[in-house]
Structure 1
């Protein structure tokens, strides 16, 4: 495998990248000065002398199979700027020009200790070998893995309880709903209004978290994620996200602290756990090396300050409607979405709507309030505001949620107190990827809203379909709760939302009682 024609500065630095060593550590391994390694970076066409050629030969011979494979990929004949064979022109353009893909590549180079450009070549090589039909087939196979399968696999991996924390289970009549959401009694039935002084999370610092080192398998999976993202034309946006660092959550109170990270960090590490898990379940395997590395036990799940704990806010939306001769008594309309296959999180799963990552828009401290994210997601996912969808473009407005910029439906809701009720109904840590989840409830009690704006409520690109259910139709709602296509966090939010709605909804709610318990 030694380079044809002998070593050059270019191939020597490729070996350094394949070994994932800094210039100093590479020099130490070869027994030479760091200045010599630096000269190879500056002069890629330089040919080392014969004794140095032998040193490099020995280093390559002592490399592991994985390291030699990486070296072979990095020194292939295809130039770095060439389009990967078989890749679509659109994927090729994104690899070269998409700033978010560029940010992900830079992140990979930095955390794998590779020289700049190495990750791009690795992704280009992987992209050339991807079979798009195979990815579609895998997506179909993943869709066959049910929410119950996922919950059972995670219970087997972690067990079901640590101290006073356990897995959330709900009972509706004869139906039992097991989830992989780790929670406790203090985190449930919060009935916490999403406004000050109840919604009080703080951001002490916006400095990014400490760097991490990617192991070989973790780097390989991250490269694969980027290649698949390009092949399937999946949106990837590198924007700031909140990372949970501490909690003080109880009834009527949301307190704690957030730090700030970047979405590519999450997308190329913790978010890979979901795909690895579902693929393992589909294959009947228990091997999950990424989970073993990032989230090995329940104590590491609960220790949010020592890991990247990203997450989001999702809410059951209930809209009051008047009695109708065709539909029946006055009720609440419930909205449920089937997630698109083009999203990175909970693809093709059922979820309540809205559902979004908890992240700042323009004000890192103010936007830490859970209610701010929920109002933003209402505007984006229900009322169709593309300018606050950061996957579509840069955020240019100084205050995207200023009253003068709100959509007409949201302006109407905010015009009078009492028209819009937003509450957090529960909190938990989702074992699928370690995310925090704020299960919430949005209630619009004024029947005039649906008469005025029902025709403009429309899901965005993140949803494949949008379904309607009535709180007077106990049979269909119970059947919905038993659907195995739910995401775990979606079922958690749906169950908690219906519990709270039964308490405050009066005669509009005619559903079986839902009771929760913490798995023992």
Structure 2
């Protein structure tokens, strides 16, 4: 066999030919498991000469069957599983990602497809599951602390959001300022005023060799695991002007695949470094490129700043001889492992990317996204979930198309209260976050429709808490499984609910700090 030019990719091809797990391959070569994992994460890495000699020896000593498999893997794309192969060939969302990558990397059309196909043959799905378990062990506090170390001292009035409650403290990775908190902004047209303007061209963002390799890996893993990715339109924040009682600013429209193959990679890069106990400085090449300092975080018009809104939902319940006094039920979700954003983390519900459905200007209202997410995540409206079906309706949120529970809420003023409780920029991936509070004031709703509320595929579990249980809520706040934006929304939502909830609430006293 001809001499091999060893890279992370060809080393992984030898591993695949030997049909070994990361641990077994590391033991076979007598090297560390982290080195093998690094080859999967950075396929363009060139091993040192001593490591290349180990790989040469391993290949020379391999059986003819192993050598044959290795030759097939390195000669070109291997045969992926049929469902993945079909998606690679025909899924318009994957095709959009491939086209985006060819364009932004400066490749000839078809290059990204070939590279993703080659990587797909090397993806070890079990290794991905193991990596997911390691990622889940990196808790919210470690992420917040690592980002605090990475970005260093803050510049007034900006700082990261933290809060004290019940003798304890919670810190987050949300960059905010006092004027962006406790907005008490009703999500109605007169106060919810984010406007749409023409955005700068995303195509000018250069991709480094490292960035293109990570994007290829993301697409290959998406295919191998069956993760949903949809090239939906996405609002891109270009300017922000918020204060108590009003949301203002400007947004443009971008595409989801551009976000998924760039900024959305920052969270996993960070979490993988923390899981491996690697030093943060020098271990985050994508963050160093896309979001290197606080000036870049705050320069929302000069980068791709996507994001969304999420809300603490409080539903009035009548008194019960079994449960006790009248209260609000508070809903919390455990995110599915099949979502790209905040996978396996705790979050409030609903939670969604801020994006238009059909009316780009009207849908820029934060309240429009929350109403849509209620329909999708609470009441089972698959027809407005663009990860499930195409959007062909002229007005999918027309009153005649609303679910029965949502129509009931909208029929009479006073049944549904929706507010924005703050604003911040998440240091995890630079996302903008609009935390909110949804209060269903009429307790008849729970009697009528409480039994039909059911989380969609984005959640693996749905929990409920009583607004009259301060001890359990304090325990919930301290849970390290939260996403940073989820904890931000929970804390701000509880603060506002304590002000307006009357006798239905007995909540921990929460005081925020920006530091």
CA distance in 1, matches of 2:113, 2:331: 41
Q: Which runs of 5+ in 2 are unaligned?
A: 4-42, 48-69
Report the counterpart of residue 192 of structure 1 in structure 2: 185
After superposition, the C-alpha distances for 1:42-81 in whole angstroms (9 at most, x for unaligned) are: xxxxxxxxxxxxxxxxxxxxxxx95999xxxxxx986999
**Counterparts in 2 of 1:468-483, with a 5 A limit?**
468-483=464-479
CA distance in 2, matches of 1:346, 1:163: 29
CA distance in 2, matches of 1:109, 1:248: 36
The answer to whether the 8 A contact 1:169-1:518 is kept is: yes
CA distance in 1, matches of 2:133, 2:374: 30
The answer to whether the 8 A contact 2:473-2:508 is kept is: no
Kindly tell me the number of residue pairs found equivalent between the two proteins: 452
**Counterparts in 2 of 1:31-110, with a 5 A limit?**
66=44, 84-85=78-79, 87-110=80-103
Ranges of 4+ aligned residues in structure 1 off by more than 3 Å = 65-69, 76-83, 206-210
Report the counterpart of residue 105 of structure 2 in structure 1: 112
CA distance in 1, matches of 2:247, 2:75: 50
1:497 to 488, 493, 498: 493
Give the superposition deviation at 1:90.
1.0
Report the counterpart of residue 40 of structure 2 in structure 1: none
Is it true that 1:155 corresponds to 2:151 in the alignment? no
Tell me, what secondary structure is at the counterpart of 1:180?
strand
Report the counterpart of residue 452 of structure 2 in structure 1: 456
The answer to whether the 8 A contact 1:183-1:427 is kept is: yes
The answer to whether the 8 A contact 2:104-2:203 is kept is: no
CA distance in 2, matches of 1:482, 1:212: 39
Report the counterpart of residue 394 of structure 1 in structure 2: 390
1:132 to 125, 140, 143: 125
Is it true that 1:175 corresponds to 2:168 in the alignment? yes
Which 10-residue stretch deviates more, 240-249 or 209-218?
209-218
After superposition, the C-alpha distances for 1:10-69 in whole angstroms (9 at most, x for unaligned) are: xxxxxxxxxxxxxxxxxxxxxxxxxxxxxxxxxxxxxxxxxxxxxxxxxxxxxxx95999
The answer to whether the 8 A contact 1:204-1:258 is kept is: yes
Is it true that 1:485 corresponds to 2:481 in the alignment? yes
Report the counterpart of residue 354 of structure 1 in structure 2: 350
After superposition, the C-alpha distances for 1:375-417 in whole angstroms (9 at most, x for unaligned) are: 0000000111000000012110001100000000000000001
CA distance in 2, matches of 1:146, 1:252: 34
Is it true that 1:343 corresponds to 2:336 in the alignment? no
1:443 to 424, 439, 464: 439
Tell me, what secondary structure is at the counterpart of 1:161?
coil
CA distance in 1, matches of 2:2, 2:129: 38
Tell me, what secondary structure is at the counterpart of 1:364?
coil
The answer to whether the 8 A contact 1:242-1:359 is kept is: yes
**Counterparts in 2 of 1:398-437, with a 5 A limit?**
398-437=394-433
After superposition, the C-alpha distances for 1:447-499 in whole angstroms (9 at most, x for unaligned) are: 00000000110000000000000001111111100000000000000000000
Report the counterpart of residue 38 of structure 1 in structure 2: none
The answer to whether the 8 A contact 1:162-1:299 is kept is: no
Give the superposition deviation at 1:84.
2.8
After superposition, the C-alpha distances for 1:205-262 in whole angstroms (9 at most, x for unaligned) are: 2675343221100000000000110111000000100000001111001000001100
After superposition, the C-alpha distances for 1:140-191 in whole angstroms (9 at most, x for unaligned) are: 0000000001001000101252221000001111120000000000000000
Tell me, what secondary structure is at the counterpart of 1:276?
helix
Tell me, what secondary structure is at the counterpart of 1:312?
strand
Question: TM-score normalised to the size of structure 1?
Answer: 0.84
Tell me, what secondary structure is at the counterpart of 2:390?
coil
Report the counterpart of residue 220 of structure 2 in structure 1: 227
Report the counterpart of residue 251 of structure 1 in structure 2: 244
Give the superposition deviation at 1:325.
1.1
Tell me, what secondary structure is at the counterpart of 2:423?
strand
Report the counterpart of residue 295 of structure 1 in structure 2: 291
Q: Which runs of 5+ in 1 are unaligned?
A: 4-64, 70-75
**Counterparts in 2 of 1:7-26, with a 5 A limit?**
none
Tell me, what secondary structure is at the counterpart of 1:461?
coil
The answer to whether the 8 A contact 1:80-1:121 is kept is: no
**Counterparts in 2 of 1:266-281, with a 5 A limit?**
266-281=259-274
CA distance in 1, matches of 2:160, 2:233: 30
Report the counterpart of residue 506 of structure 1 in structure 2: 502
Report the counterpart of residue 301 of structure 2 in structure 1: 305
Question: TM-score normalised to the size of structure 2?
Answer: 0.85
